[in-house]
Chain A
């Protein structure tokens, strides 16, 4: 199938004329210990379990460091430290002083941005261009934004007094490790809560670096605790009776388990779950710009993005043009060393995730989808997936109804605005969406009818600390970012 489509299309040979010399980011200035303990009550503490696990570089499959595996006793210790800090220090501190601590975190993160970016790319496989220009600056910006809210909470809830909740247990995914830590910790602290955070087991390093930064900022012990481990650690945190609020970002399946397991406990929760976003291209869109948006929508961060534009809807009249241009553009994408500044698509985060993606590629082909992959060379070691698209898929195909979390795009066509909206909404997810047209009134017709929490018009995958993010339907509950992101960390009195 791949060969056939190559013959039919006239192609520019981008690869032969655009050779890039390697441009690797240096690792010299980065300090990584060989072993990391748990960050509890302001100190790095050996785990009660005595166990450690390896975190590897998915681009080379080599071990970077070993990291403590927190068990129930460790979780209990962390929650108690957070409770103590909440009761005796953080909730009693004047709000403006709390804010100044959060500002400090933002500033130190900016100072150490380059180191953080390199570690993020080493540990998670994402292209340095993205960790350097997006993840780390946005993470610092989140702290800076919410720092200012600390002494202005009364303005956040109109007509009512509010107060902090207590101890927040926070569980974050591996796709934007430091950024997700910032999304969770910054609003929680600004609203006056203390925190126990668990990073994902494949990407714990930047969270542990953040622990160092928190030490450097001299935050009172116990206000932020960072414990590493896998699913069992997360479950222990969710089920700990000393937690007042759970904030979770991850899959819808796990989100449902969490929602069920805290039923009847009175714990509050925010869930930021899966997605299968529609990216809708109308015939009157600026097509070249739209193609860039499609690429950014699905191949950004190897497609490991909950709001990825993984379902492409193209108006029938421009279908052939869009698909041809998209295939041409995919040929130019550079897949390889995450630390190389020219790399567009880095390594798949883990062997497990690569297996899942490959499984879906098989399902797509077996269901009758027509698969196209770029012809780029892949490194011999590490976990890689070529940018992939499927045509000839139907509304019920699994590859366009289930979240793949990889660089895999399913393309469908439509004729009318109404058809596009109906197809886009025909899914249990509702996190995000995109619309491409030069007609302003059409933008608003579509954006107002898509049942999703974030809609991008003539752009995609843009984020900002002031901009609320979160899902409708099975994509989650609550918002993170902006004014609305404070609410989940407050209760009305």
Chain B
């Protein structure tokens, strides 16, 4: 609560200052000037700028500047992997119920900020109708995966009738740290559709947003930040896929790499790099991300390992 009130006063302070500037401006009627947002990346529960200090300019279709977007570097990615690794075991140790509630909470927060996402998507070229259906589908997809949180284990586990006197069972466990090259052609639904099945299964992720539509990715990070998701579970970078693709796929402390798209050379590169540490490369080339066919418990299982335990009976 204390933090909240502090933030409130900071906000007030800002507004005041801006109003002050405004009152010195030309508009004598006192028309308010907007407070523009700085779009930053999200690492370990914090919003730093890229360590590289680089940016790229994002414009709308009329050529107006929307934002100076962080052009994340290899170092940013490596920092994010450290955060994701640190967060992985504690996150996986949360109860399934708790993880489900946090995913549901993300959906709630997203619902509450629908207008902002719709406006960002439309700034980046979508019609209002398309933008609003993308946001709605994103919220629904989070609810869908929230519901799987305490169910996929039951569907995919087995008790195995071995011949010897053992209680033998197999259960899914998270693969670990997952790097995600999220879809280029969507600003929000692609990110949500790749992150949700990873984290609901106890993995932690480092995701690269669409470089053409990065605004929602940063705003989505703010949603995550206010949803009781522990720091480091999701890390989101903005930047260029061509620059980061190799690093996302060859890092030795990343267990799986999700690639979305159909560029044959990229796919080959990712699969080759994956062999360095027997990473699991997952190639999603044919998805229509807006469609329900792009959500499935198999997407959760793509990022799970099966562990089989032999427990003695009668000793």
Binding site for B on A (CB under 8 A): 141, 158-160, 252, 255-257, 259-260, 262-264, 271, 273, 428, 443, 447, 452-459, 462, 464, 466-470, 472-477, 479, 482-484, 492
Q: Is the CB of A259 within 8 A of B298?
A: no
Q: Is the CB of B278 within 8 A of A447?
A: no
Interface residues of B in 121-145 (CB under 8 A from A): none
B59, CB-defined interface residue at 8 Å? no
B309, CB-defined interface residue at 8 Å? yes
List chain A residues, Cβ under 8 A from B161: 466
List chain B residues, Cβ under 8 A from A475: 278
Interface residues of B in 288-304 (CB under 8 A from A): 296-298
Interface residues of B in 256-315 (CB under 8 A from A): 264, 267-272, 274-278, 280, 296-298, 305-312, 315
Contact for A470 among B270, B306, B312, CB less than 8 A: B306
List chain A residues, Cβ under 8 A from B163: 141, 464
Q: Is the CB of B160 within 8 A of A467?
A: yes
Q: Is the CB of A453 within 8 A of B307?
A: yes
Q: Is the CB of A473 within 8 A of B278?
A: yes
Q: Is the CB of B315 within 8 A of A453?
A: no
Known: A260-B271, A264-B271, A462-B162. 19 other contacts (CB 8 A): A159-B155, A160-B298, A257-B275, A259-B271, A259-B278, A263-B269, A263-B271, A264-B264, A454-B307, A457-B312, A458-B315, A459-B166, A459-B310, A467-B160, A467-B170, A468-B170, A473-B176, A482-B170, A482-B308
List chain B residues, Cβ under 8 A from A158: 155-156, 297
Contact for A159 among B276, B297, B312, CB less than 8 A: B297
List chain B residues, Cβ under 8 A from A469: 308
Q: Is the CB of B278 within 8 A of A459?
A: no
Once the chains are docked, how many angstroms separate the CA of A470 from the CA of B308? 9
B255, CB-defined interface residue at 8 Å? yes
Known: A255-B278, A466-B162. A453 touches B272 (CB 8 A): no
Minimum Cβ distance to chain A for residue B84 (Å): 16
B158, CB-defined interface residue at 8 Å? yes
Contact for B275 among A256, A443, A470, CB less than 8 A: A256
List chain B residues, Cβ under 8 A from A492: 298
Q: List 26 A-B contacts (CB under 8 A).
A: A259-B275, A264-B264, A264-B268, A273-B278, A447-B311, A453-B308, A454-B307, A454-B308, A455-B309, A458-B312, A458-B315, A459-B166, A459-B312, A464-B162, A466-B161, A467-B162, A467-B310, A468-B160, A473-B278, A474-B278, A476-B278, A477-B280, A479-B306, A483-B160, A484-B306, A492-B298
Known: A264-B264, A464-B162, A483-B158. A252 touches B298 (CB 8 A): no
List chain A residues, Cβ under 8 A from B255: 473
Q: Mark B19-55, 1 if CB is under 8 A from A, else 0.
A: 0000000000000000000000000000000000000
Interface residues of B in 170-186 (CB under 8 A from A): 170, 175-176
List chain B residues, Cβ under 8 A from A455: 307-310
Q: Is the CB of A472 within 8 A of B305?
A: yes
B101, CB-defined interface residue at 8 Å? no
Q: Which residue of A lies closest to B156 (CB)?
A: A158
Once the chains are docked, how many angstroms separate the CA of A459 from the CA of B158? 20
Give the one of B163, B298, B308 with max A CB within 10 A.
B308
List chain A residues, Cβ under 8 A from B269: 263
Contact for B166 among A263, A264, A428, A462, CB less than 8 A: A462
Minimum Cβ distance to chain A for residue B298 (Å): 6
List chain B residues, Cβ under 8 A from A259: 271, 274-275, 278
Q: Is the CB of B278 within 8 A of A260?
A: no
Q: Is the CB of B306 within 8 A of A474?
A: no
List chain B residues, Cβ under 8 A from A141: 163
Contact for B306 among A262, A468, A473, CB less than 8 A: A468
Once the chains are docked, how many angstroms separate the CA of A255 from the CA of B276? 10
List chain B residues, Cβ under 8 A from A456: 310
B227, CB-defined interface residue at 8 Å? no
B164, CB-defined interface residue at 8 Å? yes
Majority secondary structure, B binding face: mixed
Once the chains are docked, how many angstroms separate the CA of A453 from the CA of B173? 9
B168, CB-defined interface residue at 8 Å? yes
Q: Is the CB of B158 within 8 A of A482?
A: yes
Q: Is the CB of A256 within 8 A of B308?
A: no
Q: Is the CB of A484 within 8 A of B307?
A: no
List chain B residues, Cβ under 8 A from A459: 166, 310, 312
List chain B residues, Cβ under 8 A from A467: 160, 162, 168, 170, 308, 310
Contact for B309 among A262, A428, A457, CB less than 8 A: A457
List chain B residues, Cβ under 8 A from A472: 175, 305, 307
Minimum Cβ distance to chain A for residue B244 (Å): 19
Minimum Cβ distance to chain A for residue B159 (Å): 9
Q: Mark B213-225, 1 if CB is under 8 A from A, else 0.
A: 0000000000000
Contact for B164 among A452, A464, A477, CB less than 8 A: A464
List chain B residues, Cβ under 8 A from A479: 306
Minimum Cβ distance to chain B for residue A109 (Å): 16
List chain A residues, Cβ under 8 A from B297: 158-159
Once the chains are docked, how many angstroms separate the CA of A190 from the CA of B134? 42
Once the chains are docked, how many angstroms separate the CA of A458 from the CA of B165? 12
Minimum Cβ distance to chain B for residue A470 (Å): 7
Minimum Cβ distance to chain B for residue A347 (Å): 28
Once the chains are docked, how many angstroms separate the CA of A458 from the CA of B168? 13
Once the chains are docked, how many angstroms separate the CA of A474 from the CA of B255? 9
List chain B residues, Cβ under 8 A from A257: 275
List chain A residues, Cβ under 8 A from B310: 454-457, 459, 462, 467
Known: A158-B155, A453-B306, A473-B255. A464 touches B275 (CB 8 A): no
Minimum Cβ distance to chain A for residue B173 (Å): 8
Q: Is the CB of A256 within 8 A of B278?
A: yes
Q: Which residue of A lies closest to B297 (CB)?
A: A159
Contact for B311 among A428, A443, A477, CB less than 8 A: A443
Once the chains are docked, how many angstroms separate the CA of A462 from the CA of B160? 13
List chain B residues, Cβ under 8 A from A447: 307, 309, 311
Q: Which residue of B lies closest to A485 (CB)?
A: B306
Once the chains are docked, how many angstroms separate the CA of A307 from the CA of B43? 37
Q: Which residue of A lies closest to B274 (CB)?
A: A259
Q: Which residue of B lies closest to A430 (CB)?
A: B305
Give the one of B176, B264, B268, B278 with max A CB within 10 A.
B278
Q: Which residue of B lies closest to A476 (CB)?
A: B278
Known: A472-B305, A479-B306. A464 touches B276 (CB 8 A): no
List chain A residues, Cβ under 8 A from B276: 256
Known: A464-B163, A479-B306. A473 touches B277 (CB 8 A): yes
Q: Is the CB of A484 within 8 A of B278?
A: no
Give the one of A158, A458, A466, A470 with max B CB within 10 A.
A466
Known: A464-B162, A467-B160, A468-B308. A264 touches B278 (CB 8 A): no
Once the chains are docked, how many angstroms separate the CA of A256 from the CA of B156? 28
List chain A residues, Cβ under 8 A from B162: 462, 464, 466-467
Minimum Cβ distance to chain A for residue B111 (Å): 27
Once the chains are docked, how many angstroms separate the CA of A447 from the CA of B169? 12
Interface residues of B in 79-129 (CB under 8 A from A): none
Once the chains are docked, how many angstroms separate the CA of A158 from the CA of B158? 13
Once the chains are docked, how many angstroms separate the CA of A230 from the CA of B141? 50
Minimum Cβ distance to chain A for residue B248 (Å): 15
Minimum Cβ distance to chain B for residue A164 (Å): 17
Once the chains are docked, how many angstroms separate the CA of A483 from the CA of B312? 21
Contact for A462 among B155, B164, B268, B278, CB less than 8 A: B164
